[in-house]
A and B are shown apart, each in its own frame.
Chain A
């Protein structure tokens, strides 16, 4: 099966749900008319999709309703008892911060922190070629593949580090994440990558027009209405010039 067939087959279900653009639908229909294998697969998939929708209406068989909160709490207490684990009377057994495991984890972290700080203190090294080490002022010490924005479409490696100019900064209300549109050339809208920051509070956000270096995982967002390359999640941003 050709790569194009594989890519288009992933759009069959969105097509059946009218979740693709008219232009994309037209291209897909042209392909189905000309590719026998995809045409046959599409027929099977359409029947499967209808069965899936019927199943969605019917739902799985459920013998009884879920327990209420008091029953759940009692069951958890009984399980801890059976396993010989302490159930503290007068204290919430569901409390997330006071479990023996949490206390042990905090002690282990306090002991390990000085060791981790010593190990992570090393110099920045940029080697020739397409592999680079991350500098000591970044958050994680691992090798990142250096990548131009225009080369994202042919990239198969991750994590990556790329450079570009901030063209747009916006907050995605649906996903509650910060997005930065990064372009290769300041005056041009393309090529671009979208850099997605999951925890905006923990990172310095560059201004529009800044020249930055971005570290993170390379991905492709194939959702309807998107279809772009991403650095997601962003692990760090170095501002080279404001």
Chain B
């Protein structure tokens, strides 16, 4: 999935209007950016109801803090950073237990014996569950890279660490993902 930000000149015009309190400008910004932020939050939180609360917090803080936005990055990158902080804080409070992949999908033998009506659905489930079970920092870098299609530089601005650290973190995440999916390789 590749997500596009508003063209820069259009974004500047709308942000300046929103900074003056123009509600129509808020609406335009929300319409433009709610989808990529919603996808990110769902991928990190894993529950649509809780994701809705987090989305509300993200845009409330984004709109209230818009007066301090200085165009040093794109607005979407800036909102991603707020979403990253809100998701991290939310999960710290929630303290999610880790459920093994086998408990969700069954053991490899059980999958072999069970009738899987739609192998593509089983593949999707295996992939999604494997990613959702990664630790937060690993999951986030996978989502930002492969779902949001961001560069190392954009990710480093969102995560607040150098591009080299982003690269190392992505490597560890991919190696961990490979380990978790190895028993289900035939399925994938």
Contact = CB atoms under 8 A, between A and B. Distances in A.
Contact of B177 (A52, A69, A98, A175): A52
B8 A13 contact: no
A79 B56 contact: yes
A48 B164 contact: no
Interface string A120-161: 000000000000000000000000000000000000000000
A94 B162 contact: no
A222 B163 contact: yes
B83 interface: no
Nearest to A60: B43
Contacts of A48: 173-178
Interface size range on B against A: 35 or more
Assign chain A's interface to a size class. Answer: 35 or more
Interface string A39-51: 0010011011101
10 contacts: A10-B164, A60-B46, A66-B38, A69-B27, A75-B56, A76-B56, A92-B23, A92-B26, A199-B70, A223-B163
Interface of A: 6, 9-13, 41, 44-45, 47-49, 51-67, 69, 72, 75-76, 79, 92, 94-99, 102, 175-176, 198-199, 219-223
Interface of B: 1, 8, 18-19, 21, 23, 26-27, 30-31, 34-35, 37-39, 42-43, 46-49, 52, 55-56, 59-60, 63-68, 70-72, 123-124, 127-128, 130-132, 142-143, 145-147, 149, 151-153, 162-164, 167-168, 170-171, 173-179, 181, 188
